[in-house]
Amino acid sequence: MILSMTGYGKTIVELSDKKVNIEIKSLNSKAMDLSTRVAPLYREKEMEIRNFIAQQVERGKVDFALWIEKKETTDVMVPINQSTMAAYYKRLTEIVEETGIPAPQDWFTTLLRMPDVMSTKDEAVELSEEEWDAVFAGVKEAVQHLLDFRQQEGEALDRKFRANIARIGELLASVEPYEKDRVPKIKERILDALEKLPVDYDKNRMEQELIYYIEKLDINEEKQRLSNHLAYFISTMEGKYGQGKKLGFIAQEMGREINTLGSKSNQAEMQRIVVQMKDELEQIKEQVLNVM
């Protein structure tokens, strides 16, 4: 089973006075690379959040964000510091009497604008256990959405890889007819060239050298190894998740065999087939970077 490292999850936790938005997304990375942005009220729980995400997500470049949206409602009591407000009023009336500056027409509005009269900072609110339980349940839900997304992406990658591997296998099988024809043609071309030379040559020695040269062009070993790599790639995909790096190594070995086929294939049609194999393999290499 393949899991992708690309994923996204989001949940909204509805509380009495606010909405808590939780968002998490991940991309491919060689290791766990986690960055978090947490609202000040829940900052004390950030390490707990990080540990949970690292345990569940395991690998990838992960961005996590948790922020608060206040609800607009008239039912919520706005905290007003009455003693501070009274002190401002007393001092301002004294200034009015001493200086003769006109008093404000709306004392209440003026006083509400003074510093520290209204306490609205989240830092002044203590996080309750009930609220944290609800928010952490939202964190778990967002992470689960990301894991579900990864599984869906993994299924798509699985289908794509199987199509690429099958195509490489078909191209490898199509090499055989050209392979049978090329050896006699190579031998005939070399002998024709020798016959045109104005010198005699040792035909027995020539036969030995020709056999040696043709053996160096033999691609049976490369074909067998490439077939084995194709089968190994599929069996590795069907194993336990977390096989991304191993699939990358197998793809590299497949590339070596295809390159060797290309270097030995001194025949136009075979070269064309090798180019098509490389195209399929490049698609695999590009997408295998997203596999867990």
Structural fold of domain 7-73+129-151: Ribosomal Protein S5; domain 2 (3.30.230)
pLDDT tens for each residue of 37-84: 999 899 999 999 999 999 999 999 999 999 998 876 555 556 777 888
Q: How far apart are CA 64 and CA 26, in angstroms?
A: 9
In angstroms and rounded to an integer, the radius of gyration of the C-alpha atoms of the chain is 36
Nearest to 38 by CA among 68, 79, 80: 68
The pLDDT of 141-151, averaged and rounded, is 96
The pLDDT of 88-110, averaged and rounded, is 85
pLDDT tens for each residue of 170-225: 999 998 887 776 667 666 666 666 667 676 766 666 666 666 566 667 788 889 99
Nearest to 266 by CA among 203, 232, 201, 217: 217
CB 52 within 8 A of CB 24: no
Entry field: residues in the chain: 292
CB 173 within 8 A of CB 226: no
Tell me the whole-structure pTM to 2 decimals.
Answer: 0.70
CB 54 within 8 A of CB 32: yes
Q: How far apart are CA 138 and CA 140, in angstroms?
A: 5
Q: How far apart are CA 209 and CA 58, in angstroms?
A: 58
Mean pLDDT of the residues in the chain: 86
Residue 123 has pLDDT above 50, yes or no: no
The pLDDT of 21-35, averaged and rounded, is 94
Q: How far apart are CA 164 and CA 21, in angstroms?
A: 40
Residue 236 has pLDDT above 50, yes or no: yes
State the pLDDT at residue 239.
Answer: 86
Flag the least confident range among 94-103, 161-170, 207-216.
207-216
Ordered by start, the domain boundaries in the chain are: 7-73+129-151, 82-112, 152-288
Q: How far apart are CA 137 and CA 195, in angstroms?
A: 86
State the pLDDT at residue 92.
Answer: 87
DSSP 3-state assignment of 44? helix
Residue 22 has pLDDT above 80, yes or no: yes
- 137 or 102: which carries more pLDDT confidence? 137
Residue 96 has pLDDT above 60, yes or no: yes
Q: What is the DSSP string of 217-281?
A: T--HHHHHHHHHHHHHHHHHHTS-S--HHHHHHHHHHHHHHHHHHHHH--SHHHHHHHHHHHHHH
State the pLDDT at residue 241.
Answer: 76
State the pLDDT at residue 122.
Answer: 44
State the pLDDT at residue 14.
Answer: 93
- pLDDT class for 254, splitting at 50, 70, 90? very high
DSSP 3-state assignment of 54? helix
Residue 7 has pLDDT above 80, yes or no: yes
CB 288 within 8 A of CB 244: yes
State the pLDDT at residue 25.
Answer: 96
CB 279 within 8 A of CB 137: no
State the pLDDT at residue 183.
Answer: 66
Q: How far apart are CA 24 and CA 221, in angstroms?
A: 48
Nearest to 222 by CA among 154, 267, 176, 155: 176
Residues 261, 265, 268, 270, CA torsion sign? negative
- 163 or 265: which carries more pLDDT confidence? 163
